[in-house]
Amino acid sequence: MTELDNAKLVWMYRHMLRIREFEERVKRSFEEHPGVIRGHTHLADGAEASIVGSLAAIQQGDQILTTYRCHGYPLVLGTDPKAIMAEIYGRRDGLCGGYGGSMHLCDPGRGFLGTSGIVGQGIPQATGAAYAAQIRGQGQVVLGFFGDGATKQGAFSESLNIASLWKLPIVFVLENNSYNVVTRVEQEDANAAAGEPLSVKAKAFSMPGVTVDGGDPVRVHDTVADAVARARSGAGPTLVESLVYRLSAHGNLIAPPGVPLHFPEHEAVEVFGNLAEFEAAKRNDPVPRFRGRLVTDGVLAPDQADQIGAQVREEMQAAVDFALASPYPAADAALNYVYA
Amino acid sequence: MARELPYIAAINEAIRLEMARDDTVLYYGQNIATTENDEFVQAFGHDRVRVTPISETAEIGMAVGAALAGYRPVVELYMAEFMLVAMDQVVNEAPRMRYMSGGRVTVPLVLKAGYGFTAGWSGQHTGSIYAMFTGVPGLKVALPATPADAKGLMATAIRDDNPVCFFHHYLLTLEPGEVPEGEYLVPFGQAAIRRTGGDVTIVATGWMVGKALAAAAALAAEGIDAEVVDPRTIQPLDTDTILASVAKTGHVVLVDQATRHGSASAIIAAEIAERGFSSLRAAVTQVTALDATIPYSEPMEAFVLPDEAKIVGAVRGVLGTAPVS
């Protein structure tokens, strides 16, 4: 168990709030600035504690690869939210110049090597980065983030097998939010259907598998930190199942041009009519939960927490303003970067 | 100094030289490096040379990740068809990363795969599927026809900062040829003129280059002077050299072991139609595999494949000379 000092706990809270506020501003953009976000956008609200807790466990030089639900990670790693929002708005000053959009953020200088928009396909890529880290021999560790749906892909099984066989320095962070789009995990996962956690999959690959409350950043941190230490020591990979509940629908409405894009209700409500589940998840929202805990424990005074909230709101307002003011890329820039 | 080497030895020499030159070059895949006697293991050790499980998605996906992290993996895939198991990584991951990042990352890797094993390997191990990769912006595709090119194109592929599909032809595996010693690079996008001639341009790749040269020799006996052009890489494609030859001859026969609509020939034909139309004195003719899965039985296999006689017949056709019965 790692001891996190108060400054680190407040740091965690600030970053959780930053992710939440950023995602709220993305979501609000559909109403406030219709048309500026195109295609498909996926939000991390509900997963803040898991993201921040995981990233609090790594150090300079470590690397991550993630899924298309990717806005939160770079915010924690130090990427400017202005550049992220501008990317999501398709602008010239976007993190990737408007070439990638919401699903394809990357910031290699900060260790964020990229994403795959195809479910499960980032897992072998993270494993390959871990192979590179092993050869480089400088003690780097890779975190590979993916969802519950991805564990049904062959890419998952193939990668965990090799990672364990080669004792690669990687932690597989399985963010289980109980839904693959609109399919509940019990409908598609044999372990879940049998009432077992998804972390039991690790057994098939002779590596440790643990399940953690992904709504508690300290527990996530401690669990991932143990796995990171194991990876850094050369003992090999760990599968960490982090139980999260995404508080928004899978993504914005998939609709043909002409239909205004927006976020529908969460699938628990919209598809399954299970308002009770969704309301319970909202009552258990990790962001206010962590704030309450820090205040109760005397780590954070309420006015200090409010102050952080005001700062974060201001920061994300500036990100929206920046993104709106950024010009679109020149159309013929579309032919740049096809080949190196 | 050049000396004779088989095609496969030339490829291995290129990998070995590049691994010695640059310690970020990795070589891994199925059924290699399984003992300490392996020449690559002996030279470079198990960090950089590894046997993998039969897991193409992981092998190629890991190559993408290792490339993102600064290495240059060469993945031994044995057969081109095995890439189909991992099509997402080949088509929708490796070549997209640089673009989607706005140039912030590069993905230098080589997918080494044999193709066209039309020696009774039947329907699933004989395909000439290279052309499907030429339609993927971000991928490069090399098709060496000679041992020298096999070495030079592999070395270039390893040094290239993009994902490269390196397709070597299985029926050329033991073909000997002159191969330069030491560092030898064949640039991508530069066709080789294998035979000069003024009457007709024959464009052929891989195993078909030899068939085209044999056809050209037979045609020479009839007084027909054929030029044989080998593009060597089909992405990038040296359209200029092909068009210059067509401007000279006015007649074109395109030879390709792939099926007609899945061939590099179809792409070359379109380029000639658009940019070389005024040079043409006859319609472009394609000699490709017939549109069938490659059959097992020998007479049927031979029936669907391009060969010397079909190329000779096509040349006579475009030149309007009387076919010989």
For A153, name the nearest residue in chain B, comparing CA atoms only.
B57
A110 has a chain B CB within 8 A of its CB: no
Low-confidence ranges of chain A (pLDDT < 50): 1
What is the structure's pLDDT at B78? 94
* Distance to chain B for A285, nearest Cα, Å: 33
Does residue B268 register a pLDDT over 90? yes
What is the structure's pLDDT at B44? 98
Are domains B2-180 and B192-319 of this chain identical in fold? yes
Contacts of A108 in chain B (CB under 8 A): 68, 101, 104-105
CATH fold label, B192-319: Rossmann fold (3.40.50)
In this prediction, residue B270 has a pLDDT band, given cuts at 50, 70 and 90, of: very high
CA distance A225 to A58: 7
Is residue A120 within 8 Å of A172, Cβ to Cβ? no
pLDDT digits (tens, 9 = 90+) for B223-249: 999 999 999 999 999 999 999 999 999
B61 has a chain A CB within 8 A of its CB: yes
Bridge partners, A176 (sequence order)? A243
Q: Which residues contact A303 (CB under 8 A, 6 or more apart)?
A: none
Nearest to B62 among A100, A114, A128 (CB): A128
Write out the two tokens for B250: 């006015």
Average of per-residue pLDDT across B121-143: 96
Nearest to A118 among B67, B92, B140 (CB): B92
* Cis omega (within 30 of 0) for bond into B236: yes
CA distance B81 to B281: 38
Nearest in space to A290 (alpha carbons), one of A43, A9, A6: A9
Nearest to B68 among A96, A125, A338 (CB): A125
A154 has a chain B CB within 8 A of its CB: yes
At A219, which amino acid appears?
R
The string of DSSP letters for A97-109 reads TTSS-TT---BGG
Nearest to A339 among B47, B70, B138 (CB): B138
| Binary contact (B101, A96; C-beta < 8 A) | yes
What is the interface pTM, i.e. ipTM, of the complex? 0.95
- The CATH class given to the B2-180 domain equals alpha beta
B299 has a chain A CB within 8 A of its CB: no
Is residue A128 within 8 Å of B97, Cβ to Cβ? no
What is the structure's pLDDT at B92? 98
CA distance B268 to A240: 51
Q: Chain B, 100-159: which have a CB under 8 Å from a chain A CB?
A: 100-106, 108, 137-138, 140
Domain ranges for chain A: 6-252+260-323
What is the structure's pLDDT at B323? 53
A6-252+260-323 CATH, one of 3.30.230.10, 3.40.50.970, 3.90.1720.10, 3.40.50.1100: 3.40.50.970
What is the structure's pLDDT at A1? 46
A213 has a chain B CB within 8 A of its CB: no
Q: What count of other Cβ atoms lies within 10 Å of the Cβ of residue B53?
A: 12
Average of per-residue pLDDT across B278-303: 97
Does residue B62 register a pLDDT over 60? yes
pLDDT digits (tens, 9 = 90+) for B67-95: 999 999 999 999 999 999 999 999 999 99
Bridge partners, B272 (sequence order)? none
What is the structure's pLDDT at B325? 46
Strands (E), chain B: 2-6, 25-29, 49-51, 72-79, 109-115, 140-142, 163-169, 176-180, 192-195, 200-204, 226-230, 233-235, 252-259, 285-289
A107 has a chain B CB within 8 A of its CB: yes
What is the structure's pLDDT at A258? 83
Nearest to A155 among B57, B103, B137 (CB): B57
* Distance to chain B for A62, nearest Cα, Å: 11
Nearest in space to B167 (alpha carbons), one of B176, B157, B177, B182: B157
User: What amino acid positions of B are annotated as catalytic residues?
Assistant: 125
pLDDT digits (tens, 9 = 90+) for B171-214: 999 999 999 999 999 999 999 999 999 999 999 999 999 999 99
- Percent of chain B residues past pLDDT 70, beyond the cut: 99
CA distance A33 to A35: 6
CA distance A338 to B233: 17
* Distance to chain B for A36, nearest Cα, Å: 19
Which of B62, B141, B156 should we substitute to test contact with A (largest number of A Cβ atoms within 10 Å)? Answer: B62
| Binary contact (B161, A340; C-beta < 8 A) | yes
Domain ranges for chain B: 2-180, 192-319
Q: Is beta strand B226-230 parallel, antiparallel or unpaired with respect to B192-195?
A: antiparallel
Please state the φ and ψ torsions of residue A175, each to the nearest 5 degrees: -85, 100
Which of A66, A87, A158 should we substitute to test contact with B (largest number of B Cβ atoms within 10 Å)? Answer: A158
| Binary contact (B53, A125; C-beta < 8 A) | no
A154 three-class SS: helix
B73 has a chain A CB within 8 A of its CB: yes
